[in-house]
Structure 1
Amino acid sequence: MTALLLCLAMLLDAALGEPGWLWRRLPHPAVLMGRAIGWCDTRLNGGNLRRVKGVLTVAALVTGAWLLGTVLARLGPVIEVLVVAILLAQRSLVDHLRAVADGLRLSLPAGRRAVAMIVSRDTADLPAASVARSAIESASENLSDGVIAPAFWFLLGGLPGILIYKVVNTADSMIGYRTPRHLEFGWAAARLDDLLNLVPARLTALLIALTAGVTRDWRDIARDAGQHRSPNAGWPEAAMSRALGVALAGPRPYDGRMQNFAWVHPAGRRSLNAADVDASIVRLWQAWCVMLGACFLLFLITF
């Protein structure tokens, strides 16, 4: 039954995306999670024993997500489908990518403004190829974080599973940085997020590779993934780079400084443009379709 509910939620998310009229009136669940994490960061991230406080914060967030998920699951399958659809991000991811592609076709500044909505790096001076590359990298990572991983944890743990994943992933995005402020306090969030994404990131890479017909390059994908600064994000990026025949990652600016990150698929084409962003959207939908089909097949097998 869980697999069928996931299929329905995936279809609902793909059809409607993020209804702006609703979230202008009510806070999005991710916003509520962010407020809770921000409150903990403000109140607890100071003094001694910061790592211990961070561990207790993550434990409290996970417990709260589990309790909320358990209560919501008792309200019936309709509520489950709605909650899961809200927590998936396929349509919104595609919409953001399309905005980058359309912006690049209009002008470079428009492309920069659009990509600034989905990446954390400095975008003010990015050339067109870097704008497109940034968008494709975001597409790869967010297919895993925003679609495949939530779906995976819903299949395994129902609503408690997907809510635990989302709150940990949100915590990692807010406090899981190796900065003086968050190195200790955000340690637990970052490590648990790495663990929860271990399988989904590789599953995402496999879905991209399968639909693009590049599974023969799996050893190269694994090698490139190992060069990434993240233990998980490199997998979907490496698969997407092979699927499109382009080079991803590489040097990029953060906080006014150029960071010398390794290239993913360094032999790939580096002169990216709006058409490459369009091609990445096609890959996203292809991977999504395979995931949907696999969930429906799982439902038929277990029905």
Structure 2
Amino acid sequence: MALILAMLLDALLGEPKWLWGRLPHPAVLMGRAVGFLDTRLNDDTRGGGVLAVAILVVGAIALGFVLMALPGIWAEVIVGAMLLAQKSLVQHVQRVADALRLSVGDARRAVAMIVGRDVRDMDGPAVARGAIESAAENFSDGVIAPAFWFAVAGLPGLLIYKVVNTADSMIGYRTEKYENFGWAAARLDDVLNWLPARLTAVLIWAVTRRGTWGAIARDANLHRSPNAGWPEAAMAPALDVSLSGPRSYDGVIEDFDWVHPDGRKDAGADDIDASVAMLWKAWVLGLALAAVIALV
């Protein structure tokens, strides 16, 4: 029941500026904890990274049990809603579609808020693809995965997932600084997202029934990520657009494979709108699944 109420509260309120303009968001606090451990434990070894992740996980478990010990379920509901991101995700993605209808320059600035690639030379279709890819990936990372771990292990599970996912986003890179120290965060994040990423693909496919599961699995395995490819591979045939493909990071063109290579390469604002609509349909199906689990 706490998960259902948290999903509904998140969908209703999202991330109100009047609150988070005055208080640090829990994700910000998690980021500060990761940054502190980075400065103290990053000795360019995997051991230091394993210790940092262990501290974060133990802290998440302890905090989760403390919150669950409070009377009633409202602490679980409120914290759950804070750490789910359905409404904020669709708002950010929708802003890209709205901006693209004004100009490519406006759209580049909007999509830069939700992607990590270079946006300076993006044309309209590249902007649209970036928004759609972010919609699919973040629906998994920001909605389905945290909801899944909330359902499996309550607040401790949710907090573990969110702090590990935050650590991966900050230190889980194959750079000189984080190749070793970020290894544990990146690998644990892969493990925690393995089932939710595939569940996300199932939800998107179930509400669209476009594309075959064999083709989705094939395209997902072409993706550079072991998990992010699944929601993208389900979203691409649903819209009949090609996703992923070549893009630039730090001025270097990366020649990634296309997901759903036979799809259209001219994605636009209407396709972003359609992806947002699919996210809401998949969210409703996820909510129904959570209700069934609660009844069982």
Shorter-chain-normalised TM-score: which range?
Answer: over 0.9
Amino acid of the residue matched to residue 86 of structure 1?
M
What residue number does 1:43 align with? 40
CA distance in 1, matches of 2:194, 2:294: 24
Cα deviation for residue 223 of structure 1 reads 0.6
CA deviations on 1:124-165 (whole Å, 9 max, x unpaired) are 111010000000000000000000000000000000000000
Task: State the superposition RMSD in angstroms.
Answer: 0.8
Amino acid of the residue matched to residue 27 of structure 1?
P
Amino acid of the residue matched to residue 121 of structure 1?
R
CA deviations on 1:61-101 (whole Å, 9 max, x unpaired) are 00000000110111130111000000000000000011000
CA distance in 2, matches of 1:164, 1:217: 34
CA distance in 2, matches of 1:19, 1:99: 16
CA distance in 2, matches of 1:221, 1:271: 20
Cα deviation for residue 297 of structure 1 reads 2.0
The aligned runs of 1:249-288 (5 Å cut-off) are 249-288=244-283
CA distance in 2, matches of 1:291, 1:88: 13
Q: 2:5 aligns with which of 4, 8, 28?
A: 8
Q: Is structure 2 residue 118 aligned with structure 1 residue 122?
A: yes
Percent identity over the alignment? 64
The aligned runs of 1:188-203 (5 Å cut-off) are 188-203=184-199
Could you list the runs of 5+ residues in structure 2 that have no partner in the other structure? Answer: none
What residue number does 2:138 align with? 142
CA distance in 1, matches of 2:40, 2:51: 13
The aligned runs of 1:287-298 (5 Å cut-off) are 287-298=282-293
Q: What is the aligned length?
A: 295
What residue number does 1:103 align with? 99
What residue number does 2:128 align with? 132
CA distance in 2, matches of 1:282, 1:99: 14
CA distance in 2, matches of 1:123, 1:162: 33
Amino acid of the residue matched to residue 34 of structure 2?
I
CA distance in 2, matches of 1:193, 1:281: 25
What residue number does 2:219 align with? 224
Cα deviation for residue 39 of structure 1 reads 1.2
What residue number does 1:88 align with? 84
CA deviations on 1:30-54 (whole Å, 9 max, x unpaired) are 000001101111222135xx11000
Cα deviation for residue 167 of structure 1 reads 0.2
SS in 1 for 2:235: helix
CA distance in 2, matches of 1:78, 1:45: 37
Cα deviation for residue 298 of structure 1 reads 2.2
Could you list the runs of 5+ residues in structure 1 that have no partner in the other structure? Answer: none
What residue number does 1:153 align with? 149
TM-score, reference length from structure 2:
0.98
Cα deviation for residue 122 of structure 1 reads 0.6
